[in-house]
Structures are given as structure tokens and as C-alpha cells.
Amino acid sequence: MFVLSVCCLVGIQGGHAATEGSAIVCAPVGQHSAVNVNAGDLNIFHSASPPAHEIRELAWLVFGISAGIFIVVEGVLIWSIIRFRKRKVDAGEPLQVFGSNPVELAWTIIPCIIVLVLTLATVRTIREVELESAPAGALEVDVIGHQWWWEYRLPAPSGAIVVTANELIVPVGRPIWLSLRSADVIHSWWVPRLAGKTDVIPNHLNHTWFQAEAEGTYLGQCAEYCGNQHANMLLRVRVVSVEAFEMWCAAQLAPQVADASGVDGRALFLELACMNCHAIDGVSKGAFGPNLTHLMSRETIGAGAAPLNPQTLRAWIDDPQSIKEGCNMPSLKLEASQLDAVVAYLLTLK
Amino acid sequence: MTLAEHHPTIPAEVSRTLGARLHGWAVTVDHKRLGIMYVCFGLIFFVIAGIEGAMMRAQLAQAAGKVVDPATFNQLFTMHGTTMVFLVGMPMLLGMANYLIPLMIGARDMAFPRLNAFGLWLFVFGAILLYYSYIGAQGLYGTSAAPDVGWFAYAPLTNRTFSPGNSTDYWILGIMVSGFGSITTAINLLATILVMRCPGMTLMRLPLMAWMMLVVSVLVIIAIPVLTGAQIMLLLDRSLGMHFFDTQNGGSSVLWQHLFWFFGHPEVYILVLPAFGFFSEVIPVFSRKVIFGYPLMVAATVAIGFISLGVWAHHMFAIGMSPALNAFFAASTLLISIPTGIKIFNWMGTMIGGQIIFATPMLFASAFLGIFTFGGLTGIMLAVVPFTWQLSDSYFVVGHFHYVLFGGTIFGIFSGLFYWFPKATGRMLSERLGKWFFWLLFIGFNLTFFPMHVSGILGMPRRVYMYQPDRGLELWNMLSSIGVIIQAMGISLFVLNVLISLRKGKVAGNDPWNAWTLEWATTSPPPEWNFDQVPTVGSARPLWDIKNPTDPDSNHEGIS
């Protein structure tokens, strides 16, 4: 176990290095692909926001105390295994020791002290991290968990509400106050580098918060088993400059520009079942699936199941089950020409 | 009291036909035969749950594994968890207690022999009902058969809306039926320990294992009915349209969590205290020393029982409880580490100054001390609420609870099986194969479950059928999967060992380990009536008193 522990520490660092290399290969293809060298890094110790910092500090304290206890106990254990193994010279039974009040008192009281210290440290950090209300100046975001995607509603500087899915875009340096609701079962919102997880429970409003210190993409995923595609309910938070955030909001609120290449596809979108589930501003009002008004501003599709580009979009619409087996979007069995038209239309939703 | 030297054989039994002998097993009310059947069924389900675990590890060996589809994977972890807790841990531990407790306290049988048989067959029926779902049930979207809602079956995923078909009903009914069996067994054990003790065996002369089973029985009687009640509520929701947990109609999913974990956390101690009991027998005998601090061990056991009823919400730190509640459950959870720590120290205090014989039971016991210390420390990390906001529902938790439940319960069961196999069968298990088994299991276990802590810290949630390839998780998952192969080799050696030793093992005699408790005073295997003469004891180690008449333990009672 000692060897393994060392491996662990090396691994936590090594895991970091490995992801730096591979993140570039897997860099998202979308238009906003601000390449973040740490995109694949979800290490809870690489915190980038106050709640995650607080937890990290407490974690190191607990690690330290635990390591001390571990070394002492395992040391004594190994010593007694080696020292007191039966030897050939041993004859008769060893001295029978029934106990010792001072010794037993000692190993009752010392753990009590450790427990007291840990409890106080815990209570202190709970108070730092678990806020009762939104911090001053926070951007208040509504998060709604669905089987198996995320819906976000956030106020633009103008006061209008931006509705988007699966990718949360927030300004750097500003506290973000999340109100968590679920449309169906329990989910859990967990972006390790920004904050610990908070469950997203139907009929039970929860809150969490973070304040990203650096621009970049922070990944996470649903952390409470929520059914078939729990594994592909990924979280993606893009932290951008304040100006970029304002531009993004403006773009999200801008009406769609009618584009000739989308006319046939738009007709199909209305004719087929698409509109029942998906909203597109000014076109349809479905609420069961993600809002598609600015679909092509996103980096991934299927809540992160695949990068978003014309090829994956076509494959997804052809048969979502081939990319995300068991998801709630059925294959509509479109013919190739219909598929081309729908994809062409969706590509205009920038 | 004297050591038994022979018991009359029953020639008629040998000549009976196979059918008559099977009939004998089916209608028996003998606690020893029932205990053996519990253990055999438990071992069968252990192999089944192991195969389920191995399939999950095969799937997760690579980032985008294609061994099973998502729906199947979700069934696998549901059934693996449910099976290990309800069909392996509970029956094997209660079964071994069933076999051993009457022998250890000098009784002829359990207090209620027919209730005892009823409990066993309820367990068997519940287990078959659960596994019949693989053939007869329909699950989510008709895609799956076995239950796939996770072993703690969080509402509202279990609601008809999200879990159509009837696989969840199989989960409810199978566990409910076997739960009734556990309750009857617990009542029986409680009554037996309280009223069936032989003359001279006061409560403070009980073998520690009997003390631990006493506390476990109380916990079972308190905890399991809460689960049964919650399951009935869920069944009413699902079949009669009630709304206890139906969040679409004002029900509460948090209520289910409170009810489930009010059962679920004592359950952890129900699973680990009997193993503590086995170790409390094994460690003194193989260290050749009396247990260090018997009264404190008893006090710690009772304390664990009490505190374990007040810690359940530490499974729910991420649900958004108030800071005050979070702090309360953090404190109560940390508190339970004190009596647990005392036990570890007292076992080590027993070993220090001893002449330790590293036979297979003791190998498992000393490995347990090391592993459980580690699992206990990760448990302390999980009691620290903010740390758990990161760690809960991650692979770190999976690593943690396998360190305590595999390293505690399963190692305890194997330690106990090697220790008492000679008593139950009259033959020793092969020590050579036993040591191979131990080392393979020890290495495979650590290789499988240690890397899971790292995966969790790197952000891998539990219960995922796949993980993203760019997150540095592949190495750790591959190591975990390789560990399973080593464990499987070990378990195969164990099965081989049992099969060979049953026929060709060294004949054990009454007392192969030179032990001190009453079960070793009778023959191996014991006669149906256990003792030709009901023994009378003068201390907690009656056989020590016989073997060392110049220094009986009764001289030391009350001194520690």
C-alpha cells in the first residue's frame, strides 16, 4: 500500500501532464474554440475558483492528518507482524495481558482530539463555501437538469434572458450563482475545478456558486446516476472575458437571419416531429429537448457526446442512438435528401 | 466440563439415498445445516456478483469500451451492489453466526429453530425472485430486464414514469422478502444470545463475536423495517398511483434518501461488525494472547451500534442540507471513528507481545488491519463535508467502500471460513493453497480498488458505462481491470481448495488451532445436539482454563 500511495501522488500529477498533451488533439472544433491546455483536467486539486480553493485547502489538511495516522498505525502493525511472529525458540504461551487502562485511555483520548480538530475545520469550511444567498454582484443563472442534458437560462446585460443548452458561458472574475432545478430525476452539477457538486433534485431548489479566476474551458459531468445515459451528461463551462460575454449574449439574443440554404430544412423541421421537442425562436416552442436557436454557437452535441461539426450533426440527426445509445431523441429515419436539408437549415442557426 | 472425544455416528444417514439426503437438508431446522446452506448460497452469489463486477471492469478497461451496452452496464452495477449487500454479505455473516453462536455459547440450537429455517428459505426465495428478473422482467424503455436503478434506487428514477416495466418491482419484492428473512434471523440471534447461554456464561464472558452479533441483531431489527417500509411506499407509488416519492405530483425524492440511508448506514455496520467479530476470535488465538481490553471492545461495539443510527445523512451531503445539519452529520460521522479506532488499536495491542502464527486466517486478519485502517481514513475524508462535495458519487467513494467492505467484510468472511471450516467439515483447508489464495486476493484487491481513489480525484463519477478519453483516466482504470484478473485467479484457487479439502483435507480433530472458545470443545463436525453435556464455564476462555489449570482466566476477571 505504501508503494501504491506513492504511485497515487505521482499519478495525480502525472494525470495533469498527460491531459495537457492530449487536450490539443481533442480540442473542440466549434467556432469559439479558445484552446485551453487544461480542458481535459478535472483534478479536484487544480482548483480555479474560491469554493474549490477552500475545499482543496481543507483536503490537504485532512490528507496530512490521515497520512500521519496511516504511517503510525501501519508502522506499528508491520513492526508487530515482524517482531512478534512465532519463533522456534518460543516455548509455551506468551504472557497474557488483559488490558491496560492508561494505554486504552490514551488511544481513546487522542482520537477524540483529532476528531475535534477535524470537526472545527469542517464547520469553518462549510460556512465559507455554503452560501445562504447570492454573493454581491453575482450573475444569477438558472440550471435545469434533464435526462440527459443541461438547460441554462441566464440574464444578458440588457436584462433579456438567454436560453441555451449544455454549454454555460460566463464572464471571468464575476461570482456566478446557480439555481439548480430538475425537470425529471436527480442529477448533480459537478465541475471539479470550479466547485464541489450539488445535487439537482426535482421539487427541491438548490444553489451553488463559483467565481472563475481564469478564462478557459472547465469540464465536468453529471455526478448522480440519472438513468441510461448518465455517463454522457457532460458539463462544459466556458469562462470568457467580460466583453466576450457581452458579445456572446448579444449574439444569442439576435434574431435568426433568414438564409436561403435553410428554407427546405426549416419546412421539414416544422413538418416532422422536430418542432415538438425543440424550440427555435420565432419558429417553434418545443421544450422537451435543447433550444436550438443558436445551435451552431456550441462546441459539442448530445450534451458533450460528440464535437459539433457538419458531419457529426448529420450523423446525430440520422440516428442519435448511434452516438448516444438510449438517449430520448429517436431516429426519424430521414431520407438522405431530407437529412441534407435539415442539416443545412441547422447550420444556419449560428 | 471436559473436551468431547467422540460422538456416536449415525450409520443410517450414510446409507440413505441422495433424494432422502436432499430432503433432509430441505426440512432441517438444525442451526448448523442452515448455517452451512446460508454460506453455500452466499458463496454462489459471491461468484455471480464477482462476474458482474468483472464484466463492468472489462467494459471500463478502456475509455470507450464496447463490451456491454449502456443499459446492460446499468443493470450490472445495480445487481452487483444489491447482490453483494443483500445476497452475499447478509446471508454469509448471518449464516456463519447461525452456525457458530449456539456452539460458542454452549447451546443446543438457536432459540427458535423453525423460525430459523423459515428465515433461510425466505432469503433463498427473495434471491431467486430478484434474479428471476433477468428472465421475466422488463426495464427502462423495454430495453432491459434486470433492475437498473442502482442499489440505492433513488426516487424518482424508480417512478413508473422513468422506470416503466416491472424490473424495479422485482428489486423491491426480492429485497423485501429476503429482508423479512434477515429480521427473523436477527430476532432469533438476539433471543439465543440473551437466553440460551450455558451456565456460567455471563454477558461479560461472551465471546466477542457473540457480543458483536448481539449489536448487529439489534441494528438489523431497527434498520431493515425502515427499508421495508420505504419499499412498501415505493410499491404503492408504482402500483396504486400514490405519490410518496412522485416528484411530478408533490412527492419528495429526499424522503426516499432519508429512509433508505436510515437503513443504509446501519447496514454498513451490520456488514462489518460480524467480520469484526470473526477477527476478534482469530487474532487472539493466532497471537496466542487473550484479547487486549475486552471491556473496552464491548463498549466500542455498543458505541458503534448507537452512533451508527445517527450518521445516515452523510450519504446526502450533496443534496443541499443546511450548514447546521451538514455540521451535525459530519460530527457524528467523525465520532464513529473513535470506537472503530479503539478496536483497531486493541487488536494490535493483542498482537503486540504475542507469538503470532501466520496461518491463513491470521493472514487475512492482519491484512484486514492494514486495509481497514486505510478505508477508515478515506472514510474520515468523506466525513469532512466540503471534501465530500468533491468526492461523493465519484470513484473515490467506490474505492473507499470497497476498502471497508471488501477489506473488512469479505476478508473477514474468508478469515472465518478458513478458521471454522475444520469445525464444520472435520477437515482442514489446504494451507498451501490458502496462502496462494490470500496473496493473490490481497494483491488483486489493492490493484483493483486503490487506483479508483485516483480516478475519483481526477473527476471520474461512479456508475458511468464509459468515460472521456482525454482526462488521464485510462491508466488507472486499466490497472483496476487487471486487478480483477488476479482476484479471479485467487477465488478460483479458493473454490478448488474447498473441493479438494472436503475429500482429501487433513483430518482436523476437535481443536486444530489450539483455541479457547466452546465450539472447539465439541467434535468436528459437531453432533446434531452440539454438546453431549451442556458445558459450564468460568471465564470468557473456557478452553484456556482447561488447558492452563494453574492460571485460569477467572483469576483475572475484572482486572484490565
Q: Mean pLDDT, to the nearest integer, of B199-219?
A: 96
- Give the residue range(s) of CATH 2.60.40.420 domains in chain A: 1-242, 260-346
CB pairs < 8 Å spanning A and B:
334
User: Is B3-547 a domain of CATH 1.20.210.10?
Assistant: yes
Cross-chain Cβ contact A84/B353 below 8 Å:
yes
Instruction: Indicate if the alpha-carbon torsion angle A225, A226, A229, A233 is positive or negative.
Output: negative
| Mean pLDDT of the B84-106 span | 96
Predicted pLDDT of residue B64: 85
Cell 458519487, located at residue: B393
Looking at per-residue pLDDT, the higher value among A287 and B301 belongs to B301
Domain A260-346 sits in CATH at 2.60.40.420
The helix (run of H) or strand (run of E) holding residue A268 is helix A263-271
Q: Which of A59, A108, A234 sits opposite B387 (nearest CB)?
A: A59
pTM score = 0.92
Residues in chain A, pLDDT under 50: 1-4, 6-37
Q: Calculate how close chain A gets to B388, using CA atoms only, in Å.
A: 8
Q: For residues B442 and A136, what is the distance between their CA atoms, to the nearest angstrom?
A: 53
Q: Pick B381's closest partner by Cβ from A62, A81, A93.
A: A62
Average pLDDT taken over every residue of chain B: 93
The arithmetic mean of pLDDT across residues B110-123, rounded, is 96
Determine the distance in angstroms separating the CA of B468 from the nearest CA of chain A, rounded to an integer.
Answer: 9
Q: How many angstroms separate the Cα of A51 from the Cα of each of A234, B270, B468?
A: 21, 36, 25
| B443 at interface of A, judged by CB pairs closer than 8 A | no
Scan residues 528-557 of B and list those with Cβ closer than 8 Å to A: 548, 551, 553, 556
B283 touches chain A (CB under 8 A): no
- What pLDDT does residue A33 have? 38
CA distance A118 to chain B (A): 7
Share of chain B above pLDDT 70, in %: 96
How does pLDDT run across B324-350, given as a tens digit for each residue? 999 999 999 999 999 999 999 999 999
pLDDT (average), residues B11-16 = 57
DSSP B374-441: HHHHHHHHHHSHHHHHHHTTBHHHHHHHHHHIIIIIIHHHHHHHHHHHHHHHSBPPPHHHHHHHHHHH
Residue B195's pLDDT band, with cuts at 50, 70 and 90, is very high
Residue B143: pLDDT above 80?
A: no
To which CATH superfamily is domain A1-242 assigned?
A: Cupredoxins -  blue copper proteins (2.60.40.420)
Residues ≥6 apart with Cβ < 8 Å to B556: A96, A98
Domain boundaries, chain B: 3-547
**pLDDT score of B18:** 86
Q: Is the pLDDT of residue B19 over 50?
A: yes
Indicate yes or no: CB of A206 within 8 angstroms of CB of B319. yes
Residue B141: the pLDDT is: 53
User: What tens digit of pLDDT does each residue of B461-501 get?
Assistant: 999 999 998 889 999 999 999 999 999 999 999 999 999 99
Are A202 and B247 within 8 A, CB to CB? yes
Specify the 3-state DSSP secondary structure of B533: coil
The 10s digit of each residue's pLDDT in A290-320 is 999 999 999 999 999 999 999 999 999 999 9
A98/B293 Cβ within 8 A: yes
pLDDT digits (tens, 9 = 90+) for B236-279: 999 999 999 999 999 999 999 999 999 999 999 999 999 999 99
Q: Is B290 on the interface with A (CB under 8 A)?
A: yes
* B450 → closest Cβ in A4, A22, A97: A4
Does the pLDDT value for residue B509 go beyond 80?
Answer: yes
- A197 and B288 within 8 Å at the Cβ level: the answer is no
Residues in chain A within 8 Å Cβ distance of B375: none
Considering only the beta carbons, identify the residue of B74, B344, B345 that sits closest to A228.
B74
* Cβ–Cβ contact B329 with A under 8 A: no
d(CA B75, CA B81) in angstroms, rounded, equals 10
What's the confidence (pLDDT) of residue A273?
87
Is the Cβ of B396 closer than 8 Å to some Cβ of chain A? no
pLDDT digits (tens, 9 = 90+) for B392-437: 999 999 999 999 999 999 999 999 999 999 999 999 999 999 999 9
Task: Please tell me the distance from the alpha carbon of residue A184 to that of residue B275, in angstroms, as a whole number.
Answer: 40
Q: Is B239 on the interface with A (CB under 8 A)?
A: no
Which of A228-232, B4-8, B538-542 has the lowest average pLDDT? B4-8
Tell me the ipTM for this assembly. 0.91
pLDDT at position A21: 35
How far away is chain A from the Cα of B279, in angstroms, using its nearest Cα? 15
Chain A CB contacts of B469 under 8 Å are 22, 26
pLDDT at B558 over 90: no
For residue B293, give the nearest of A54, A104, A230 by CB distance.
Answer: A104
Note the pLDDT tens digit of each residue in B44-64.
999 999 999 999 999 999 998
